[in-house]
Structure 1
Amino acid sequence: MKRTSVALAAILAVVGPLSAQAQEVTLRLSHWIPPTIAPATKGIDPWVASLEEASEGRIAVQVFPAQQLGKAPDHYDMAAQGIVDLAWVNPGYTAGRFPIYSATELPFMSDDNINGTKAIHEWYLANGAETEMSDVKLCFVHSHAPGAFHSKVPVTRPEQVKGMNVRPAHATIARFISLLGGGPVQVPAPEVREALSKGTAEAVTFPWGAMYDFKLTEEVPVHLDMPFYLSAQVLVMNKNSYEGLSDENKAVIDSHCTPEWSGKVSAGWAEDDMAAKDKLKADDTQSFNTPTEEDVVAWREAAQPLIEEWKEAVSAKGGDADAILEAYKAALKKYDADY
């Protein structure tokens, strides 16, 4: 008995009391994009690496990319139901489910995704997360640089979209295309090139990097050089997965679920987008059109009915749409990300 006590004392001297030993946990993170493109390599993967390092090995994250565990529109429910611990979600893939959050999809709001995602993170926590995403923990907001309108022929004003078939970025832009008299062509991102080559679509709203990610430079070589929209994904965590962690591990998660981290993960994606834009500008086969101030006013006026529809959707759910929208604009202005 004495010999056992001596041995136990020796172990405790090295590792500390058993009650204070580090908890080890493996979290499963699912997303729906190829593991080799910027959103993963310059956003999700660095966040995972930092989380693991900050936990000093107590937390491991197993990443499942490219819809291995479920389709893109299912990812919110996968996290909420505990099928996975963490999921990268595009709220715009489920039209009408997150009406408050869809304010982030309204066009011509932000010209800076890095500071813009910080603003969105702070604003949504205060104005919508507990209402719309109460069954998950919001970890970060992740957006590409402001996306643009890419087409086969020049488009500089909203009336030119009438009669044009356009692959929209998400449900809000799809509705905008409809309001302009165009036809939204709803196909997944990997199928956009085929839709353009077959003439099913004549234009697309996409981030700059997507021109190369999906090999679209020959299909839509004309670009409207204005910050058209954001598509802001979110990384969310199952609440039971979070609550089951030790206090020490919860603190690590909390330190990686902040507006600052939203900016960090979005910075890598923005870097990739801006490099792609510079490459496009240096390519003689590509053409860029910069709208005049009058054109910008026309686009903003054309988007006003869309904003009114957003307000109606939020009000129908019991939200104070005017106050929520003003809070969003104020957050963007605070972070110098308003357009």
Structure 2
Amino acid sequence: MMHLVRSGFVGALLAAGVTTSAFAQTAWDMPTPYGDGIFHTQNIREFADDVKTATDGNLVITVHSANSLFGHAEIRDAVRDGLVPIGEFLLSRLVNEDPVFGLDSIPFLASSYEESTALWDVSKDAISEKLAAQGLTLLYSVPWPGQSLYLRKEVTDPKQLEGLNFRAYNLASERLAQLLGAIPTQVEETDVATAFSTGRVEAMITSPSTGANAKAWDFTSNFIDVQAWLPRNVVVVNTEAFEALTDAERKALTDAAATAQTRGLEMSKEETAAKIAELEKGGMKISKPSEALSAKLKEVGETMTTEWQAKAGDTGKAIIEAYRNR
């Protein structure tokens, strides 16, 4: 209780733009769910340094990593409610509020960094508007490495996926398994190794980062680099806190955000290459999808995109049309 009271009081003061009288310095606390070893957090720390330098120390952002200030599920609300002025979270966590927030997680719609960037370019205005309606100003977005296939055996023909126990962890992954002819099998992340080792799961889809960190080579053997989707993190600021800044401070913040988005994209690409190399070094066979498998995955993507558009309405249809006509 004391923590909540303190956080609310301090956060409200900071969101209101309270400064210290000695240096006229604005101090912001920034929660992020990820640890210091994660490239998103490293990018945010550079972003905070850039803001401090550009404002001559007048705006100082203190990064609180690894859920140390607020848990991931709380960060958006904390920024929206003014408990902290700025924060980072996974955009698709908001999909239950509006389908548009789950656009980046439609399988096989954008299956490369180039396509992910193009999809973001045509959707960011709509996403910004929806966040703005919650009192949030979007600063920047950075994708995670693409989600790819891990299998106990080599697969070149999509028919080989039929009947396989496929790890499912949400409705989208369950639907993906169904469309591939696989059997959705609920398995928590902490149980993946055991599930593979016992045969309860024979396939899953996750990022090379997660696979390498879990030493996937100890329980599976094949990695197919399909980059089914590249989920995005967003960094947002409480709009009232943003508008309370001076013109120079707002410019410093948005300039640093633009730099962070560009830098973060390159860091994500480097992470992908490094983690795939780690999987290969561990003994996994690394491959690209065969033509037949690619065709099946594209078919699945079309189905799931159509289903998403039915939920997202006119906004969703306009985004997909702009993406495909780019």
Residue 212 to residue 298, structure 1, CA distance change in 2 (3 Å): closer
Identity percentage over the alignment? Answer: 18
Q: Which residue of 1 aligns with 2:261?
A: 262
Q: Indicate the SS of the match to 1:209.
A: helix
Matched, 1:65 2:65: yes
Q: Is the contact between residue 93 and residue 170 of structure 1 (CA under 8 Å) also seen in structure 2?
A: no
Deviation at 1:162, TM superposition (A): 4.2
1:300 maps to a residue whose letter is K
Larger radius of gyration: 1
1:134 maps to a residue whose letter is A
1:235-261 alpha-carbon deviations (Å, 9 max, x no partner)? 111112212212221111121333x64
2:262 maps to a residue whose letter is G
Matched, 1:207 2:207: yes
Q: Is the contact between residue 105 and residue 173 of structure 1 (CA under 8 Å) also seen in structure 2?
A: no
- Using the TM superposition, name which of 274-283 and 304-313 deviates more: 274-283
1:264 maps to a residue whose letter is R
Pairs aligned (count): 303
1:1-29 alpha-carbon deviations (Å, 9 max, x no partner)? xxxxxxxxxxxxxxxxxxxx984111111
Residue 165 to residue 142, structure 1, CA distance change in 2 (3 Å): farther
Q: Which residue of 2 aligns with 1:24?
A: 25
Residue 237 to residue 300, structure 1, CA distance change in 2 (3 Å): same
Deviation at 1:292, TM superposition (A): 2.2
Q: Is the contact between residue 209 and residue 273 of structure 1 (CA under 8 Å) also seen in structure 2?
A: yes
Q: Indicate the SS of the match to 2:279.
A: helix
Q: Which residue of 1 aligns with 2:288?
A: 290
Q: Which residue of 1 aligns with 2:277?
A: 278
1:326 maps to a residue whose letter is E
1:58-95 alpha-carbon deviations (Å, 9 max, x no partner)? 11111111122333233222221222222211122344
- Using the TM superposition, name which of 229-238 and 162-171 deviates more: 162-171
Q: Equivalences for 1:137-156 in 2 at 5 Å?
A: 137-156=137-156
Q: Equivalences for 1:303-322 in 2 at 5 Å?
A: 303-315=301-313, 319-322=314-317
1:114-137 alpha-carbon deviations (Å, 9 max, x no partner)? x55643443233233213553211
State how far apart, in whole Å, the 2-side matches of 1:91 and 1:221 are. Answer: 31
1:139 maps to a residue whose letter is L
Q: Which residue of 1 aligns with 2:320?
A: 325
Deviation at 1:172, TM superposition (A): 3.6
State the TM-score, normalized to the length of structure 1.
Answer: 0.78
Q: Which residue of 2 aligns with 1:182?
A: 183
Q: Is the contact between residue 145 and residue 209 of structure 2 (CA under 8 Å) also seen in structure 1?
A: no
- Using the TM superposition, name which of 221-230 and 172-181 deviates more: 172-181
Residue 212 to residue 280, structure 1, CA distance change in 2 (3 Å): closer
Q: Is the contact between residue 149 and residue 203 of structure 1 (CA under 8 Å) also seen in structure 2?
A: yes
CA RMSD of aligned residues (A): 2.9
State how far apart, in whole Å, the 1-side matches of 2:191 and 2:77 are. Answer: 24
Q: Which residue of 2 aligns with 1:45?
A: 45
Residue 307 to residue 88, structure 1, CA distance change in 2 (3 Å): same
Stretches of structure 1 lacking an aligned partner (at least 5 in a row): 1-20, 334-339
State the TM-score, normalized to the length of structure 2.
Answer: 0.80
Q: Which residue of 2 aligns with 1:8?
A: none
Residue 160 to residue 243, structure 1, CA distance change in 2 (3 Å): farther
